[in-house]
Amino acid sequence: MSYADPAASPTVAALLSLKGRTALVVGGAGLLGSEISFALAEQEATVIMAGRDAGRCHHRADEIMQKMPGARARGLNMDITKPDSIRAGVEEAARLTGGFHILVNCGWSGRKNTFESITDEDWDRDIEVSLNGVFRTIKAAVPVLATRNGVILNIASMYGVVAPDPGLYDSSKFANPPSYGAAKAGIVQLTRYLAAFLAPQGIRVNCISPGPFPYETTQVENPEFIKRLAAKNPLGRIGRPHELKGVAVLLCSDASSYMTGQNVSVDGGWTVW
Amino acid sequence: MASDRFALDGRVALVTGGAGILGRRFCSGLAEHGAAVAIVDIDAEGAKRLADEISRETGGRTLPVACDLREPEQVRRMADDVVSAFGRIDVLHNNAAGKSSDLDAFFAPFEDYSLKQWRAVMAIDLDAMFLVAQAVGKHMVARGGGGSVIQTASIYGVVAADQRIYAGSEYGGRPINTPAVYAAAKAGVIGLTRHLAAYWAPHRIRVNALTPGGVESGQNETFRRRYSDRVPMGRMANPDEMVGALVYLASDASSYVTGQNIIVDGGLTAW
């Protein structure tokens, strides 16, 4: 093919297709991870959904296969707070699939805290899950990805880009802890670092910074908070989890074959003003 | 002493828009730190009065220069005049900006904004930055002694304006907003800053941007309140609060800093 031959270039549908690819989605049964897992499956990827709650992962995988006959998905036990569990999980995912092409890091858990209330233990645990766990997962997965022109997609956050407005949070029960933004900013920079250092191995690394996607429980418990979140955002509303599907497919597929080291914000405009 | 690095004794500074709300503080700040200051403004009288005032108060040398920065010939002559008077230019503060004379056209809604008005604002907010940087930079390069260029950008060259703050907001009794042309021009200033930082680095000319947040001047209470609600520090800026960053960028205190945008906005862009 000549350098520019639009008549012969791959179609958009072909570029976005994940047929023949396998994805390991860590945190794949969570609020955003589920949507991403479904999106990858819809593009015909085989999806391994890994998480601490293996039952929930299996359940989500069954849902995928029920919704899409012919789709291949399964759950996998993996606790990203435990280095042994990460290594075992990555090995198991590679064994089950004969090697995966896509790694999505979507795992997260943490306690609500203010700067005043957060303890050393809370801080350490949050960083352990949100940053150290991602590092260890990537380190374990790179040998698998390196032979397959792999891609890594990390889920960061708007709070890795800007600070929360304390006025949005009326009590420490809902407060976004300082550890969260620090870990997520770390993810953004780790993404850039790895984009540079893994490029020679043919691995692309990008991240998504979601805006406000509060849990449904928060929406029910604290509608006033949701109103404040919506009012602060240029688009005037919180995000709908399915609004991450498009960007996840873009960044995991050949449609983004010349993108690496980027942070794509999906935040309703939160960080533009 | 570390504070010696901030000294501007023996340096020559040129400030465009030097008689404006921020410009006058910039000029006096540079003079207080020992610089001879050329005060360039379209308002000849204002520049003259300010020059006299600063010389009286600081004992420093000042030079008022009337110049319409939209005119390339005037800009060249202005730079030459300052070099003739002071022998050199070490610090250029590219600071002038304007709303043009037609405020109705300046504040017009984007959908109805005229190309004529767009170009009128660009002529001073961006084109003049180019003309002045070119005319003064030429002297700096020719002299071979390096230099520091500081260009005034804006928070609205970094983030978008929340349009809701303009409901009921007035300045001098007239409704106000931030037009798109201002945002585009100021983002252009930041781009020009980075470009020139790389381009002139071999000549030891540092180029940085200074981004002020909203400065309290003649806005009504509604605007001040709405704007302040968006700022982590909860208030607008005082012009004096920009001077420290300017002196830092102008002086040897920032001798390894180039291509940066120093944002002095009370945290507006941090959340």
Q: What is the DSSP letter of B215?
A: B
Q: pLDDT at position A89, please?
A: 98
Q: Is residue A6 part of a domain?
A: no
Beta strands in chain A (DSSP E): 22-26, 46-51, 73-77, 102-105, 151-155, 204-210, 263-266
pLDDT in tens, B26-67: 999 999 999 999 999 999 999 999 999 999 999 999 999 999
Alpha-helical segments (H) within A119-176 = 120-127, 133-146
How far is it, in rounded angstroms, from Cα A223 to Cα A170?
12
- Structure confidence at residue A172 as a pLDDT band (50, 70, 90): low
Q: Is residue A273 part of a domain?
A: no
Percent of residues in chain B assigned helix, strand, coil, to nearest 5:
50, 15, 30
Q: Is residue A194 part of a domain?
A: yes
pLDDT in tens, B148-177: 999 999 999 999 999 999 999 999 899 999
**For residue B14, is pLDDT > 90?**
yes
**For residue A127, is pLDDT > 90?**
yes
Write the burial class of residue B212 (CB in 10 Å: 0-12 exposed, 13-18 middle, 19+ buried). Answer: buried
Q: What is the DSSP letter of B206?
A: E
φ and ψ at residue B158, rounded to 5 degrees: -110, -45
Beta strands in chain B (DSSP E): 12-16, 36-41, 62-66, 91-94, 147-152, 170-171, 174-175, 205-212, 261-264
Q: Is residue A151 part of a domain?
A: yes
Q: Cβ distance B223 to B191 under 8 Å?
A: no
> Among residues A209, A39, A22, A14, which one has the least CA distance to residue A103?
A22
Q: pLDDT at position B147, please?
A: 98
Task: Determine which one of B182, B199, B227, B256 is catalytic.
Answer: B182
Beta strands in B77-160 (DSSP E): 91-94, 147-152
Q: Cβ distance A249 to A35 under 8 Å?
A: no
Q: Is residue A81 part of a domain?
A: yes
Q: Cβ distance A28 to A50 under 8 Å?
A: yes
Mean pLDDT over residues A154-176, rounded? 88
How far is it, in rounded angstroms, from Cα A262 to Cα A208?
8
First to last CA, chain A: 44
The residues, ordered by sequence, that sit 6+ positions from A2 with a Cβ below 8 Å of its Cβ are none
Mean pLDDT over residues A170-180, rounded? 83
Write the burial class of residue B177 (CB in 10 Å: 0-12 exposed, 13-18 middle, 19+ buried). Answer: middle
Q: pLDDT at position A225, please?
A: 92
Beta strands in B153-236 (DSSP E): 170-171, 174-175, 205-212
Task: Write the single-letter amino acid at B187.
Answer: A
Whether the CB of B233 is below 8 Å from some CB of chain A: the reply is no
Q: Which two tokens stand for residue A180?
A: 């969260």
Comparing alpha-carbon positions, the chain A residue that sits nearest to B162 is A273
CA–CA min distance A80, chain B (Å): 29
Q: Is residue A7 part of a domain?
A: no
> Among residues B262, B195, B246, which one has the least CA distance to residue B91?
B246
Q: Chain-wide mean pLDDT for chain B? A: 96
- In the numeric block, the tokens 């929406």 are attached to A219
CA–CA min distance A165, chain B (Å): 6
Residues of A annotated as catalytic (active site), given as ranges: 180
**For residue B16, is pLDDT > 80?**
yes
User: Using CB atoms, which residue from A163, A269, A272 is nearest to B271?
Assistant: A163
A165 to chain B: which residues are within 8 Å by CB? 232, 271
Q: What is the DSSP letter of B127?
A: I
> Among residues B105, B151, B103, B159, which one has the least CA distance to residue B128?
B151
- Structure confidence at residue A108 as a pLDDT band (50, 70, 90): confident
Q: Cβ distance A36 to A25 under 8 Å?
A: yes
Mean pLDDT over residues A66-85, rounded? 96
Q: Is residue A144 part of a domain?
A: yes
**ipTM score:** 0.74
Task: Write the single-letter amino acid at B239.
Answer: P
Q: Cβ distance A57 to A76 under 8 Å?
A: yes
> Among residues A214, A145, A204, A209, which one has the least CA distance to residue A183?
A209
State the total domains in chain A: 1
> Among residues A110, A231, A107, A89, which one has the least CA distance to residue A167?
A231
**Residue B16 DSSP SS3:** strand
Q: pLDDT at position B38, please?
A: 98
Domains of chain B: residue spans and CATH: 2-263 (3.40.50.720)
> Among residues B119, B87, B93, B92, which one has the least CA distance to residue B106?
B119
Q: Cβ distance B240 to B140 under 8 Å?
A: no
B271–A165 CB contact, under 8 Å: yes
Q: Is residue A3 part of a domain?
A: no
Any catalytic annotation for residue B156? no
Q: pLDDT at position A163, please?
A: 94
A234–B271 CB contact, under 8 Å: no
Q: pLDDT at position B226, please?
A: 96
Domain extent at residue A256:
12-268
User: Using CB atoms, which residue from B160, B161, B271 is nearest to A162?
Assistant: B271
The residues, ordered by sequence, that sit 6+ positions from B121 with a Cβ below 8 Å of its Cβ are B98, B99, B100, B106, B179, B181, B182, B185
**For residue B92, is pLDDT > 70?**
yes
Q: pLDDT at position A217, please?
A: 92
Least confident range from A16-30, A103-117, B86-100, B120-134: namely: A103-117
Strands B174-175 and B170-171, by their bridges, are antiparallel
**Residue A135 DSSP SS3:** helix
Q: pLDDT at position B129, please?
A: 98
Distances (CA, A) of A55 to A49, A84, A99, A140, B97: 11, 20, 23, 23, 63
Greatest mean pLDDT among A5-19, A258-272, B36-50: B36-50
**For residue A226, is pLDDT > 90?**
yes
User: Using CB atoms, which residue from B159, B232, B270 is nearest to A273?
Assistant: B159
The CATH code of the domain that includes A71 is 3.40.50.720
pLDDT > 70 fraction of chain A, expressed in percent and rounded = 99
Q: Chain-wide mean pLDDT for chain A? A: 94
Biggest CA–CA distance in chain B, Å, is 56
**For residue A86, is pLDDT > 90?**
yes
Mean pLDDT over residues A150-169, rounded? 94
Q: What is the DSSP letter of A130?
A: I
A165–B162 CB contact, under 8 Å: no
Mean pLDDT over residues B250-264, rounded? 95
- In the numeric block, the tokens 């106000």 are attached to B176
